[in-house]
Homo-oligomer: A and B are copies of this chain.
Amino acid sequence: MAELPDRVEIHEEGPREGFQIEPPGFSIADRAALVEALADTGLRQIQVASFVNPARVPQMADAAELFAAIRKRPGVRYTALWLNERGFDSACATPAVDLTGNLYFYASDAFSRQNNGRGMQAHAESQRRWVQLYRDRGLAIESAYVMTAFGCNLEGEIREERLAQSLRFIAQLERDEGFRLPVLYLADTVGWAYPLSIRRRIALARELLPHARIGLHLHDTRGLGMANALAALEQGVDLFDASIAGLGGCPFCGHAHGGAAGNICTEDLAFLCEQMGIPTGLDLPKLLEAARLAERIIGRRLEGKLMHSGLPSAAGLEEPA
């Protein structure tokens, strides 16, 4: 098969991206237990929470407290998300946060306006200030995310030229600010990607930022998440964001029986990689334990498939925990 990577790294988003859209009120103890269970699986990076306006995202109001409650495991990075300087300051003031120098861009102008109150170009320009803020803190620029890199519900499929625009801006920012971007994430924020666009946009990113490692942040909103992951693996992509048990998405919108699916599922993705002969460094039985813990905490059936079927084994299905 085409250029499969030698190994794959998966970064966990469930505690943040998952819990931020669940109802508020889950205990610090439960959420810390989940993070600790995840840290036991071989995951090296776990996004724990976001430092954002508690009036807008009450689920994350106790982010600092959650970080303080976690028994950290050496070798694991416990990261956070922030959207503005205030959030970044809060993160910096929380000792347990492992700070990451991430930049964010948007390929969808409408989505940028809706999320940030300004268009994609203005938001891109604002990233200059972040380069400076990170430098002031002695943080390396670690990655850049291009959100809605494939499409968004407001604009539909985002034309490749828009993505190219974001990528060229990043290349120019590198030259202006004198840094070299280590990682470029193509983020399929609301699940618009499909295998052809995955291939084409990975190729585009490699053309315009040839020195950057490519990462993918995929959503399974329309059922194409795993097919998209396969397409990316076949292009040699070795870095993915995912959520335990497929947390994330939108449980409040949609139909009587629940809303749209969220991030691709960490353990299902790890299983795909392992089945393809690509090591992930992750302990699948422990990932399944963490997924089932998440399900017990959340209290409804979660999206993951492997968690409900168990691992294959010649002696029969793995007994559920």
**Across the interface, which residues of B come within 8 angstroms of A300, CB to CB?**
257
Whether A313 and B222, one on each chain, are in contact in the complex, defined by CB atoms closer than 8 angstroms, is no
Complex CA gap A194/B311 in Å reads 13
Q: Which residue of B lies closest to A230 (CB)?
A: B227
**Across the interface, which residues of B come within 8 angstroms of A261, CB to CB?**
305, 308-309
Could you say which interface size class chain A belongs to?
A: 35 or more
**Across the interface, which residues of B come within 8 angstroms of A317, CB to CB?**
153
Whether B312 and A276, one on each chain, are in contact in the complex, defined by CB atoms closer than 8 angstroms, is no
A268 on the B face (CB < 8 A): yes
Q: Which residue of B lies closest to A229 (CB)?
A: B227
Complex CA gap A270/B223 in Å reads 11
Q: Which residue of B lies closest to A4 (CB)?
A: B196
- Chain B's nearest CB lies how many Å from the CB of A213? 22
Whether A301 and B257, one on each chain, are in contact in the complex, defined by CB atoms closer than 8 angstroms, is yes
A272 on the B face (CB < 8 A): yes
* Interface membership of chain A positions 205-246, coded 1 if the CB is closer than 8 angstroms to chain B and 0 otherwise: 000000000000000111111110111000000000000000
Whether A308 and B224, one on each chain, are in contact in the complex, defined by CB atoms closer than 8 angstroms, is no
**Across the interface, which residues of B come within 8 angstroms of A227, CB to CB?**
226-227, 229-230, 272
**Across the interface, which residues of B come within 8 angstroms of A277, CB to CB?**
196
Whether B195 and A230, one on each chain, are in contact in the complex, defined by CB atoms closer than 8 angstroms, is yes
Q: Which residue of B lies closest to A231 (CB)?
A: B230
Whether A272 and B192, one on each chain, are in contact in the complex, defined by CB atoms closer than 8 angstroms, is no
A54 on the B face (CB < 8 A): no
> Quick one: which of B223, B229, B268, B306 contacts A305, CB cutoff 8 A?
B223
A contacts, CB < 8 Å to B: 1, 151, 153-157, 191-192, 194-196, 199, 220-227, 229-231, 254-261, 265, 268, 271-272, 275-277, 292, 295-296, 300-302, 304-310, 312-314, 316-317, 320
Q: Which 5 residue pairs are nearest across A and B when measured between Cβ atoms?
A: A156-B314, A223-B305, A223-B268, A257-B301, A194-B275
A-B contact pairs, 27 of them (CB 8 A): A1-B195, A1-B196, A1-B199, A151-B312, A153-B316, A153-B317, A155-B314, A156-B314, A157-B312, A157-B314, A192-B312, A194-B272, A195-B230, A196-B276, A196-B277, A223-B265, A223-B271, A223-B272, A223-B306, A224-B305, A254-B310, A255-B292, A255-B308, A256-B296, A261-B305, A261-B309, A301-B301
